[in-house]
Amino acid sequence: MANLKQNQHTDRQVLEAVKAIKTAILQGQYEAAKDVNRVQLALYFAVGRFLSNNTRQGVWGLGAIDAISQQLRKELPGLRGFSASNLKNMRLFYEEWMNLDAHAITRNINSPIVIGELQNDNNQLITESPIATDENTTSADANVIDLNNSLQIPLTADFPIEDFFKVPFTHHIRILEREKEREARYYYIHRTAEEHLSANELIRLIQEDSFHHQALIPNNFSHTIPNAASARKAVMMFKDNYLLNFINVEEIGERESIDVDERVVEKQIIENIKKFIMTFGNDFAFIGNQYHLEVYGVEQFPDLLFFNRELNALVVIELKTGAFKTSYLGQLMGYLSILDAKVKKPHENPSIGIVLCKDADKDFVEFVIRDYSKPMGVATYTTTKDMPDQYRNALPDIDELKQLL
């Protein structure tokens, strides 16, 4: 009988758990009117801790979460977000973030939704179960989720706290399920908060492994952009490789002049400018192609000119269908000098240049780009032809792409 009791939850435990969670939900609904997402995350974190302490420490038996979910729906008809699977997500949400080392962040959080203090005076995690294990215990605090203290999440100093509370719970779970690296999680939290990504857009970024690509673009931003935070933003803004799956590769390489090939690529980008901007990021605004620049009677025509709202800077992109050459940096340097002198507004940051070519040796680019005084980077692009068969077959047929021309 003793073993049987360990593997089953009691009706009393379920009712006590439901009472505690329901009380937190109802009080949280009042607070949510002030700050919906922040309070919701705080509530879910609290419920997650409550569930974790009781399911992981053997207080409840098997099936308790399913029973709690069913009972909650009975007592709060129309309640959404507290299915058994979502309750398990709340437990995951708590368990993934409670393991971070360092201090708590009460000063940044105004929500009162918690399950007690997460740390004591000695900076140790408190793990006592909020529900008594003895069925005869009648402590007034045994079945209460404490709502009188501020939510505390142990975290490192670089934890993106403001972005964290801007990201919806569903997005948090998608990040936790798909990413185990802490820095990668921070990156996707920041991207979601800054760009208001949908869940599908977030999943696409994770599938493309944007975190590991974004920091790899060969660049000289660290010593050409004086402000360290702005330099980091610039690095995060660009990836080392972009998939331009709308480029019609059959139109490239059939002519003697490489300049003509580059105009073909440019033409297809212009005709698919929305897709191109979505590939680069939502903060890009297209200004023009073959943008006319002139100084001392000499005319220049950079391929693509954008403005990036996050960087508050003009971004010029020079397209190349072949491998990287050092002469491309000199060409880009000239464009940036003219843009900064003749086009940039006084309140804007210095212009940034990107060479977008078919192939580049990253180590070589890093070596030669360091002596240039204007912020520049070199990225590569991939077309449908370069993709593995299993991915290429999932994309539109080449005849469909031709119709875009």
Question: Residue length, the chain?
Answer: 405
Specify the 3-state DSSP secondary structure of 396: coil
Identity of the highest mean pLDDT range in 34-38, 56-60, 84-88, 201-205: 84-88
Measured CA to CA in angstroms, residue 284 lies from 156, 257, 307, 338 at distances of 32, 31, 6, 21
Lowest mean pLDDT among 113-117, 191-195, 226-230: 113-117
Q: How many CB atoms lie within 10 A of CB 351?
A: 25
For the chain, which residues make up each domain, given as ranges? 2-159, 217-403
If pLDDT is split at 50, 70 and 90, which confidence band does 386 have? low
Higher pLDDT, 269 or 147: 269
Looking at this protein, which amino acid is placed at residue 165? F
Both tokens of 73, joined, read 């729906």
Q: Is the per-residue pLDDT at 364 higher than 90?
A: yes
* C-alpha R_g of the chain: 27
Q: Would you tell me the crossing angle of helices 64-75 and 84-98 to the nearest 10 degrees?
A: 120
Q: Is the per-residue pLDDT at 238 higher than 80?
A: yes
Q: What is the pLDDT of residue 203?
A: 93
Q: What is the mean pLDDT of residues 189-215?
A: 84
If pLDDT is split at 50, 70 and 90, which confidence band does 347 have? very high
Residues pairing with 357 in the sheet: 380
Ramachandran assignment for 110, one of left (phi > 0), alpha (psi -120 to 50 degrees), beta (any other): alpha
Q: Is the per-residue pLDDT at 145 higher than 90?
A: no
The phi, psi pair for 215, rounded to 5°, reads -95, 5
CATH class of 217-403: alpha beta
Q: What is the mean pLDDT of residues 352-361?
A: 91
Higher pLDDT, 353 or 389: 353
Higher pLDDT, 252 or 372: 372
The DSSP annotation for 18-56 comes to: HHHHHHHHHHHHHHHTT-HHHHHHHHHHHHHHHHHHHHT
Q: What is the mean pLDDT of residues 333-351?
A: 95
Residues pairing with 359 in the sheet: 323
The strand pair at 313-319 and 349-357 is best described as parallel
If pLDDT is split at 50, 70 and 90, which confidence band does 91 have? very high
* Helix, strand, coil share (%) of the chain residues, nearest 5: 50, 10, 40
The span from the CA of 298 to the CA of 288, in Å, is 19
Q: What is the mean pLDDT of residues 48-57?
A: 87
Q: What is the pLDDT of residue 399?
A: 46
Specify the 3-state DSSP secondary structure of 233: helix
The span from the CA of 374 to the CA of 358, in Å, is 22
What distance, in Å, lies between the first and last C-alpha atoms of the chain? 75
Q: What is the pLDDT of residue 254?
A: 45
Q: What is the pLDDT of residue 258?
A: 53
Q: How buried is residue 239: exposed, middle or buried, by Cβ count under 10 Å (0-12/13-18/19+)? A: buried
Higher pLDDT, 342 or 246: 342
The strand pair at 376-382 and 304-308 is best described as unpaired
Q: What is the pLDDT of residue 229?
A: 73
If pLDDT is split at 50, 70 and 90, which confidence band does 245 have? low
The strand pair at 349-357 and 376-382 is best described as parallel
Specify the 3-state DSSP secondary structure of 348: coil
Q: Positive or negative, the Cα torsion across 71, 24, 174, 180?
A: negative
If pLDDT is split at 50, 70 and 90, which confidence band does 132 have? very low
- How do residues 66-90 score in pLDDT, each as one tens digit? 999 999 888 888 888 889 999 999 9
Q: In 258-392, at which residue ranges do the beta strands (DSSP E only) sit?
A: 284-289, 293-295, 298-300, 304-308, 313-319, 349-357, 376-382
* Chain position carrying tokens 């053997």: 58
Encode 100-128: b = buried (16+ Cβ within 10 Å), e = exposed.
eeeebbbebbebbbbbbbbeeeeeeeeee
The span from the CA of 87 to the CA of 97, in Å, is 16
Q: What is the mean pLDDT of residues 250-258?
A: 47
Higher pLDDT, 320 or 260: 320
Q: What is the mean pLDDT of residues 299-312?
A: 91
Higher pLDDT, 154 or 308: 308
Identity of the highest mean pLDDT range in 10-14, 160-164, 265-269, 270-274: 160-164
> To the nearest whole number, what is the mean pLDDT of the chain?
74
Q: What is the pLDDT of residue 12?
A: 80
Q: Is the per-residue pLDDT at 29 higher than 70?
A: no
Are 115 and 130 a contacting pair, CB within 8 Å?
yes
Higher pLDDT, 281 or 140: 281
Lowest mean pLDDT among 45-49, 202-206, 252-256: 252-256
Q: What is the mean pLDDT of residues 134-138?
A: 36
Lowest mean pLDDT among 17-21, 101-105, 248-252, 306-310: 101-105
Percent of the chain's residues with pLDDT above 70: 68
Q: Is the per-residue pLDDT at 144 higher than 80?
A: no
